[in-house]
Amino acid sequence: MDFSEASTLDTSGLICPEPVMMLHNKIRDIAVGEVIEMIATDPSTERDVPKFCAFLGHVLLNQKQLNKKYYYYIQKTVSPD
């Protein structure tokens, strides 16, 4: 998948709950259909980011781990009422 149009949110060095709090704020600032590339170093994001997406209705398009960094590609699919 090509995520070259994704905006990047780098939460490297931050620990729970900060990465997901920052993701929540960032996703508010983008339009429905846009994609965020989130970079994290906290292993708990492997659990937290998929739950965040499922709970709020966003799509986790892809996730991967390279060395000690976690990469998530989240598409905003809903807008708050």
Walk me through the domains of the chain, giving residue ranges and CATH numbers: 7-75 (3.30.110.40)
Dist. CA 49–CA 54, nearest whole Å: 9
CB atoms within 10 A of CB 72: 25
- Per-residue pLDDT of 5-30, as tens digits, reads 889 999 999 999 999 999 999 999 99
Q: How confident is the model at residue 81 (pLDDT cuts 50, 70, 90)?
A: low
| Residue from 3, 10, 16, 41 carrying the catalytic annotation | 16
- 16 is known as an active-site residue: yes
* pLDDT score for 42: 98
- Per-residue pLDDT of 23-64, as tens digits, reads 999 999 999 999 999 999 999 999 999 999 999 999 999 999
* pLDDT score for 3: 78
Q: What is the pTM of this model?
A: 0.92
Q: In 8-42, which positions are buried (b, 16+ CB within 10 angstroms) versus exposed (e)?
A: ebebeebeeeebbebbeebbeeeeeeebbbbbbbb
